[in-house]
Structure 1
Amino acid sequence: MNGFEKRANLIKNKIMKTTFNMLRTSGPKRIRIADISKEAKVSQVTIYNYFGSKETLLQEVFKNYANNVIAEFEDYMNGGHSLKEKIEYILFMEKKYYNELSPGLIKELLIDDQELTRYVEEVYKEKTLPLTIRIIGEGKKSGEISEDVSIESVLGFIQLFMNQYELILGMAQQSSDLDKFLDGMVHMFFYGICGKP
């Protein structure tokens, strides 16, 4: 990479980082190229030269964020952790990212952007789902997940949990001990309310 390419990369990354930080406090519809330009200390023309439109910039920012999340997910799943730790990570990975981009903000980004919605569905089908299925299969082989429970049942239970994630996190934040609350949720995921069988 020559000096021009390095400089161009630095400017592009600066624009994307600025946009990401602005997304965390404002919705995508409230962000203007003029605001990004002022905050990033680059001209509006520079932003248009690199990205073409605000929509393309937002797509690239979100895809970059999602790619980083997926890379961390894959690293963790392949990192020699116990099944319980892996399931806990799946259930609560959003806890880490919730303060970066809330589920409501992500929905707002996806609602009017079919390309971004397709991208998210593709990543889920091609990366996240197969890796999760592999982890569940490994748990069944090792006896950590009952043979009586199908992979589809575990996936369904995880999905039920994640569909209510915002509500569960809100309850956890209102509890006197957030970590204890979340540990209890993981315990119930594995053993129900009666403890280990």
Structure 2
Amino acid sequence: MIVLDGFEKRRNDKKKAIMQTALELFDQYGFDRVTVTEIAEKAHVSKVSIYNFFESKDNLRRIIIKDMLDDSVEKIKSLIAKEGNFIEKIEEYIQIRTWYYGKYTLRFFFEAVESDPELRQYLENFNAASKNLLMTFIEEGKDSGVFSPDASNDAIEIYIDMIQTYLMHNKEIRDRLEHNPELAREINMLFMDGLIRNMQE
């Protein structure tokens, strides 16, 4: 059993290394210009390993994007379940929502989504789940007295839908957010601050 666990760990480590290497290369040079051979060389694995894990370069990119979205959902679920000061949880929420902006280009993410129907559907499902989690988070904020109870759920949900749609269809704003976590943080903070300010006025 111990040997099997060690084998599985090495296997998972290799898979993660391939994904991280591919992400960095796709982000730097563009998906079409990067070959499986280049990914294998930089990740110090064989091309066979990549095909065994991911079947194709397209599927490798698909799994990378899905993993990013899944990780964000799991982090937000953990944050909601965690006990603690709600003001501090707001800051943690914003960090989760903005971590990607300082690391990789939005161009890579949206080119992948726009060229892959399966990823488009996955993103739609992610956005729906993300909105539900955010509404749960906001309800916690209302219950704790940090957010105003006067902000209706209908208005909040419409606002969230507007932001999601705007980001999906506005390349100019995505370009402005490229590698700019502070701007992304400010946008998220303005939303949270609005919920707080409504209570204070």
TM-score by length of 2: 0.72
Matches for 1:9-48 after TM superposition, within 5 Å: 9-48=12-51
Structure 1 contact 15–47 (Cα < 8 Å) conserved: yes
Aligned residues: 189
| TM-aligned CA distance change 1:89 to 1:188, over 3 Å | same
Structure 1 contact 140–146 (Cα < 8 Å) conserved: yes
For residues 124 and 62 of structure 2, the distance between their equivalents in structure 1, rounded to whole angstroms, comes to 14
For residues 122 and 99 of structure 1, the distance between their equivalents in structure 2, rounded to whole angstroms, comes to 24
Give the equivalent residue in structure 2 for 1:80.
83
Give the equivalent residue in structure 2 for 1:111.
114
For residues 183 and 101 of structure 1, the distance between their equivalents in structure 2, rounded to whole angstroms, comes to 19
Structure 1 contact 83–135 (Cα < 8 Å) conserved: no
| Larger RCO of the pair (alpha carbons < 8 Å, separation 6+) | 2
For residues 184 and 150 of structure 1, the distance between their equivalents in structure 2, rounded to whole angstroms, comes to 19
For residues 182 and 171 of structure 1, the distance between their equivalents in structure 2, rounded to whole angstroms, comes to 10
Structure 1 contact 14–40 (Cα < 8 Å) conserved: yes
| TM-aligned CA distance change 1:88 to 1:155, over 3 Å | farther
Give the match's secondary structure for 1:149: coil
- Provide the identity percentage: 26
| TM-aligned CA distance change 1:172 to 1:67, over 3 Å | closer
Matches for 1:1-197 after TM superposition, within 5 Å: 2=4, 4-87=7-90, 89-90=92-93, 93-125=96-128, 127-160=129-162, 163=166, 166=174, 167=176, 185=190, 187-188=193-194, 190-191=196-197, 196-197=200-201
Which stretches in structure 2 are left out of the alignment for 5+ residues? Answer: 168-172
Structure having the higher helix fraction is 2
Structure 1 contact 59–116 (Cα < 8 Å) conserved: yes
Give the match's secondary structure for 1:101: coil
TM-score by length of 1: 0.73
For residues 93 and 4 of structure 1, the distance between their equivalents in structure 2, rounded to whole angstroms, comes to 32
Instruction: Indicate the larger mover: 9-18 or 162-171.
Output: 162-171
| TM-aligned CA distance change 1:182 to 1:48, over 3 Å | closer
